[in-house]
Amino acid sequence: MADNSKFVPAKGMRDWLPKEVLLRQKLIRLIESHYQLYGFQPIDTPVMENIEVLQGKGGGENEKLMFKVQMRGDELDRAFEELIKKSNSVAEQTMARIAQARAEIQQTADMGLRFDMTVPLARYYGNHAAELPKPFRCYHIGPVWRADRPQKGRFREFYQCDIDIVGGASDSCEVELLLATDRVLKELGVGKFKIRISHKQLLSELLTGFGVDANGVAKIAVAIDKLDKQPYEQVWKEIEALGHSLEVLNKVDGFIKNALNKQVDPVHYKIGEAEKLWLQIESIRQRVHAINPNAQVVFDPLLVRGFDYYTGPVFEINVEDKNFAFSIGGGGRYDGLIEKLGGPKGTPAVGLSLGFERILTILLEKEGAVAKATYPRVYLVNDGQAEKDLQTLAEILRSKGVAVEAGLEKKDKVKQLIAAQEAGLEYAITEFAPGASKFKVRQLSTRKDTEMTAEELKALLS
C-alpha cells in the first residue's frame, strides 16, 4: 500500500476543498457586508510582526503559543558579525567558538506569526494614527497562528474576523459592537448562541469582597473558567481544595450557583468597586436590548478572558448545541495597549473577534451547507465542436458576465453532464451553432431543455 503520509498537511493545519473554500468566501462576503452596514472599514496587516511587538503586550497564554521566525539571511549574518566584534579575545574567535555562536544565533527569533488581530491592530494604529479618522472603525479578516493542541474546531492556522473601534472611550462603542455581532451571527445561521458580557475586573473584585485572599483569586477564576467543560461538582472540589474558610466558601458557592442559574442577586454585587462595574455592564446590556429586544446578549459574571490587555467590558460568544462545546468568538476593551506599543497616549479601544474556523465547523456539519456553496456558472459541453467555435462562444458569454466552464476534451456527453452536476452546476449548454444568437440550455436537475439567448441565460443564473 502506498504511503500517503507525506501528502497530509502539517499538524493543526488543513486543506480546503473547492466547495469548502466557496462556503468560506461566501461567509466572508456576508460578514464584510454587515460590518460595512455599521460603517466599519477594511484593513490588513502583515502575517508576521517584529518579535518585540508580539512579546510582552498582554497576550497571556497565547504569547506562549506563538510561532517564532528564526533569523535568516542578512539578519543572521549581521547578528553574527556583531557578536564576533564583541568577542573579548582572539581565543574566543576560534572556529569552534564561531560555529557555536552561529548555532546559538540561528535559534534567535526576530519575528513571529501573529497570534491574534488585536496586537497587530494596535501596532498598525500607532503607525498610521495621523492618517486615520477618530474614532477609527475597522474590520480585519485573515489568518492567525497558534502552536495549540489541535482538536475539533481548533486548528493551529485559522481565520479571525475582528471589528474594532479605536479612539472611542464611550461604552456606546460596546453597544454597537454587540448589535453588529448579533446581526452577523444570525445571518450566518450558526444556530442558538449567547454573547456573554462582563467586566475584566468584576470577578476578581467580587471574590476579594467575599474574603478570598489575593493569591486565591486567580486560582478560583481558573477553576470557574472550566465550568463549560466540567460539571460543577468537579470544579467545586478544585475550589474547596484551595483551603479557604467555610464562610468564604459558602459565599462563593452561593454566587456561582446563582450565576449558573441566570439569577442576579444584587447583594452579591454591592461590594465596593464591584457595584460600579456591574452597573456599567447592566447598562450596556439594557441599552442593547432597548434597541434590539431579540439580541442574544446576556450578563455572565463568571466570564473569564485570558488576555491581560483587557481593561474593561469583555465578551465571549458560545454556541448552544449538544454537538459543539466551544466558544466561537470574544473580545473586550483594551485601553492602553496602543500606548504600550508606543502609539498615542491614552488611546481607548474596544474590539470583538469571531473565530471563523469554528463557525465553519458548525456550518459544515449542517445538512446542505457545503452543497449550496457554489457560484452561478454554466457548463459548455464539448461534443466534438471545433475548439475555436467552443471557446469563441465561451468568451462571448464571459464578456456578458456569464461564468463558463468549458469542456476542454471531447468525452461522452452524458458523463460530462453528470460530472458537471456533481461539481455543483445546475445548467449546461448542450447544443449550439457557431454564430447563432440562441443555444440549447439544459437544467441538470430536471433535464429540461430550453432555447435561450446569452442575456436570458445571464438572467437565469443570477
For the chain, domain boundaries: 7-50+114-364, 72-107, 378-461
pLDDT score of 216: 86
Residue 362: per-residue pLDDT: 84
Whole-angstrom distance, CA of residue 409 vs CA of residue 390: 11
* Span of 144-153, 306-315, 366-375 with lowest mean pLDDT: 366-375
Please give the model's pTM, rounded to 2 decimal places: 0.80
In angstroms, rounded to a whole number, what is the distance separating the alpha carbons of residues 455 and 420? 22
Neighbours of 33 (CB within 10 A): 11
Q: How confident is the model at residue 153 (pLDDT cuts 50, 70, 90)?
A: low
Reduced to 3 states (helix: H, G, I; strand: E, B; else coil), residue 118 is: helix
> Model confidence over 237-269: pLDDT tens digits?
989 888 888 998 898 888 888 888 877 777 777
The H-or-E segment that residue 62 falls in is helix 61-64
Q: Between 72 and 412, where is the model more confident?
A: 412
**pLDDT single digits (tens) 169-196:** 999 999 999 999 999 999 998 889 999 9
Strands 404-406 and 297-299: unpaired
The DSSP string of 206-248 is HHHHTT--HHHHHHHHHHHTTTTTS-HHHHHHHHHTT---HHH
270-308, pLDDT tens digit by residue?
888 899 999 999 999 999 999 999 999 999 999 988 667
Judged against a pLDDT cut of 70, whether residue 82 lies above it is answered with: no
The reply to whether 7-50+114-364 and 378-461 are identical in fold is no
Question: Whole-number mean pLDDT of the chain?
Answer: 85
d(CA 299, CA 286): 10
Instruction: Work out the angle at residue 141's Cα, subtended by the Cα atoms of residues 369 and 169, and round it to the nearest 5 degrees.
Output: 125
Lowest mean pLDDT among 105-114, 200-209, 433-442: 105-114
Question: pLDDT tens-digit profile of 416-452?
Answer: 999 999 888 899 999 999 989 999 999 999 999 999 9
Q: Using one digit for the tens of pLDDT, what is the confidence trace for 321-345?
A: 766 667 899 999 999 888 888 788 9
Q: Cβ-count burial of 457 within 10 angstroms (0-12 exposed, 13-18 middle, 19+ buried)?
A: buried
Helix (H, G, I), strand (E, B) or coil at 329: strand
Q: How far apart are CA 146 and CA 151, in angstroms?
A: 13
Q: What is the CATH number of domain 378-461?
A: 3.40.50.800
Res. 315: pLDDT tops 90: yes
The arithmetic mean of pLDDT across residues 150-155, rounded, is 70
Distance (Å, whole) CA 208 – CA 269: 12
Strand 349-355 with 48-50, pairing: unpaired
pLDDT at 53: 85
Confidence at residue 388, expressed as pLDDT on a 0 to 100 scale: 94
- Cα separation, 360 vs 35, in Å, equals 18
The pLDDT value given to residue 104? 56
pLDDT class for 386, splitting at 50, 70, 90? very high
Share of the chain above pLDDT 70, in %: 86
Per the listing, cell 468568451 goes with 395
Confidence of residue 60 (pLDDT cuts 50, 70, 90): low
Comparing 67-76, 195-204, 443-452, which segment has the lowest mean pLDDT? 67-76
Distance CA(28)–CA(373), nearest Å, equals 12
Please state, as a whole number, how many other Cβ atoms lie within 10 Å of the Cβ of residue 290.
10
Give the span between the Cα atoms of 395 and 133, in whole angstroms: 44
The pLDDT of residue 9 is: 86
What's the fold here for domain 7-50+114-364?
BirA Bifunctional Protein; domain 2 (3.30.930)
Tell me which residue has cell 454573547: 195
Q: How far apart are CA 123 and CA 342, in angstroms?
A: 8
Instruction: Give dist(CA 35, CA 117) in Å, integer.
Output: 16
pLDDT of residue 363: 83
Q: Tell me how many degrees the CA angle 358-7-363 measures, rounded to the nearest 5.
A: 20
Nearest to 460 by CA among 385, 388, 402, 379: 402
Over residues 2-45, the pLDDT tens digits come to 566 778 888 888 888 888 888 888 889 999 999 999 999 999 99
